[in-house]
């Protein structure tokens, strides 16, 4: 069933109406705040705002304006906060991420590095192919994964769970 608005050429299906209601409830009355896809879908409503569910639209509009009031009265930055941050930065070292800055490996150090790499590969191949240790390792990893889930539950804030938990 569709509901045409006089002179607007816009019609709304039941699904459209339901989605409009959801948009008003979640994002408010201003279509600029709606997701892009929904804004495009309902672009015709600019010419036919009377098709919006009147009560829901009025309620959403009032709440938008109240939120704007609160936004304008938001907590101001403490005076000098940025300067204090920049002062602190002056004593903070950066992580060395430029590997080209490291001295080149050569001579004895280079041979040692190549030897350690080869030994690591050999040990890995031995564990993976020959000893069944891989299965033991897999078992312990499974147990560890289960422990993580328990830990997540323990750490979860009860209020967060009340708030819908993990969505």
Binding mask 44-63 for other proteins (x = CB under 8 A): ---------------xx-xx
CB of 5 to other proteins, least distance (A): 26
Residue whose entry in the numeric block shows the structure tokens 């109240």: 66
Q: Which long-range contacts (CB under 8 A, 24 or more apart) does 51-59 make?
A: 51/3, 51/5, 51/8, 51/10, 51/12, 52/20, 52/24, 53/17, 53/20, 53/21, 53/24, 56/20, 56/21, 56/24, 56/25, 57/24, 57/29, 59/24
Q: How far apart are CA 18 and CA 142, in angstroms?
A: 44
Q: How many amino acids of this chain bind other proteins (CB under 8 A)?
A: 48
CB of 104 to other proteins, least distance (A): 21
Q: Is 102 in the site for other proteins (CB under 8 A)?
A: no
Q: Which stretch binds other proteins (CB under 8 A): 2-10, 21-29, 103-111, 114-122?
A: 21-29
Neighbours of 12 (CB within 10 A): 22
| Residue placing its CB nearer to other proteins in the complex, 65 or 109 | 65
For other proteins, the binding residue among 89, 99, 102, 108 (CB under 8 A) is 89
Question: 139 near 131, Cβ under 8 Å?
Answer: no
CB of 50 to other proteins, least distance (A): 20
Residues with Cβ < 8 Å from 128, sequence gap 6 or more?
A: 134
Q: Is 162 in the site for other proteins (CB under 8 A)?
A: yes
CB of 44 to other proteins, least distance (A): 22
Q: How far apart are CA 57 and CA 139, in angstroms?
A: 56
Q: Is 150 in the site for other proteins (CB under 8 A)?
A: no
What residues make contact with other proteins under the rule CB under 8 A? 22, 25-28, 33, 35-36, 59-60, 62-63, 65-67, 69-78, 81-90, 92-95, 97, 157-160, 162-164, 167
């Amino acid at each position: 069933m569709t509901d045409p608005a006089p002179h607007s050429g816009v019609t709304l299906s039941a699904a459209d109406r339901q989605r409009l209601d959801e948009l008003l409830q979640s994002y408010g009355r201003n279509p600029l705040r709606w997701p892009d896809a929904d804004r495009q879908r309902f672009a015709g409503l600019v010419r036919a705002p009377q098709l919006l569910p009147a009560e829901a639209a009025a309620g959403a509009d009032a709440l938008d304006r109240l939120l704007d009031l609160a936004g304008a009265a938001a907590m101001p930055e403490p005076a000098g906060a940025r300067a204090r941050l920049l002062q602190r930065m002056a004593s903070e070292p950066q992580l060395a991420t430029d590997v080209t800055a490291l001295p080149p490996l050569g001579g004895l150090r280079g041979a040692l590095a190549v030897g350690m790499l080869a030994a690591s590969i050999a040990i890995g191949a031995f564990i993976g192919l020959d000893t069944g240790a891989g299965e033991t390792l897999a078992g312990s990893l499974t147990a560890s994964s289960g422990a993580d889930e328990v830990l997540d539950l323990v750490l979860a804030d009860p209020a967060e769970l009340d708030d819908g938990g993990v969505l």
